Chains A and B, each alone.
Chain A
Amino acid sequence: KQEVTQIPAALSVPEGENLVLNCSFTDSAIYNLQWFRQDPGKGLTSLLLIQSSQREQTSGRLNASLDKSSGRSTLYIAASQPGDSATYLCAASSNTGKLIFGQGTTLQVKP
């Protein structure tokens, strides 16, 4: 049974810092791995999707990596801004499209 874990649960950094969010999964037979952002009281917004054959994806200041053999993914945020404050969720997808989510990392970027 796939289990997804995110560390840390919460993170507070000053504006401008580069930071890394971690995601680990127990079953390496994933179809893809996705990172989402969730603002308070809102739904999820997809940030990056890494297919199982890829090692990383980049979008603006965000870079996500995937290491299937070690069961790990990281989300790197460069030059953090207060607007980046949100909860970040990673989810591993099976070949049926079922997403297994981690509990998320709540990020606060202080001005």
Chain B
Amino acid sequence: ETGVTQTPRHLVMGMTNKKSLKCEQHLGHNAMYWYKQSAKKPLELMFVYSLEERVENNSVPSRFSPECPNSSHLFLHLHTLQPEDSALYLCASSQGVGQAKNIQYFGAGTRLSVL
């Protein structure tokens, strides 16, 4: 148990659906991250939030919309996805950003399949 919880663990959706992924951290951290892990590709950083403000958007298509209502919760709203968006979506948190001792703690991920 890393202190970072993601729900749901598995999600199947059609290309016209709208769904949301949820991430919650119980570590008192100030930074949260969304990553995408596709088959046979390295993990890709999608978004970074620090103190509830987005500090990085890594050229992610607008069909992915993040939301960080407070420092403990992070959402990824999905709409009009494509089959190539099928992947494992991982959430992480850390004490802050830009620190040499900054370890990121990861959730177990949401396995997303877009039909």
A binds B: yes
Q: How many A-B residue pairs have CB under 8 A?
A: 69
CB atoms of B101 and A51 under 8 A apart: yes
For B, the interface residue count at a CB cutoff of 8 angstroms equals 30
- Could you tell me which residues of chain A, from 44 to 103, have a CB within 8 Å of some CB in chain B? 44-46, 49, 51-53, 89, 91, 93, 95-103
CB atoms of A51 and B100 under 8 A apart: yes
- Could you tell me which residues of chain B, from 46 to 94, have a CB within 8 Å of some CB in chain A? 48, 55-56, 90, 92, 94
Q: How far is B96's CA from A41's CA once the two chains are assembled, in angstroms?
A: 27
Query: Is B21 close to A, CB under 8 A?
Result: no
Q: Which residue of B lies closest to A32 (CB)?
A: B100
Q: How far is B41's CA from A104's CA once the two chains are assembled, in angstroms?
A: 9
- Partner of B101 from the list A41, A49, A98, A104 (CB cut-off 8 Å) is A49
Q: Which residue of B lies closest to A103 (CB)?
A: B42
Q: Shortest beta-carbon distance, A42 to chain B, in Å?
A: 5
- CB neighbours (8 Å) of A21 from chain B are none
CB atoms of A98 and B106 under 8 A apart: no
- Partner of B97 from the list A41, A96, A101 (CB cut-off 8 Å) is A96
- Could you tell me which residues of chain A, from 1 to 58, have a CB within 8 Å of some CB in chain B? 4, 31-32, 34, 36, 41-46, 49, 51-53
Binding site for B on A (CB under 8 A): 4, 31-32, 34, 36, 41-46, 49, 51-53, 89, 91, 93, 95-104
Sample (24) of A-B pairs whose CB atoms are under 8 Å apart = A32-B100, A36-B106, A41-B108, A41-B109, A42-B108, A43-B2, A43-B109, A44-B43, A44-B90, A44-B106, A45-B2, A46-B104, A51-B100, A51-B101, A91-B43, A96-B48, A96-B98, A97-B96, A97-B98, A97-B99, A97-B102, A98-B45, A101-B43, A103-B42
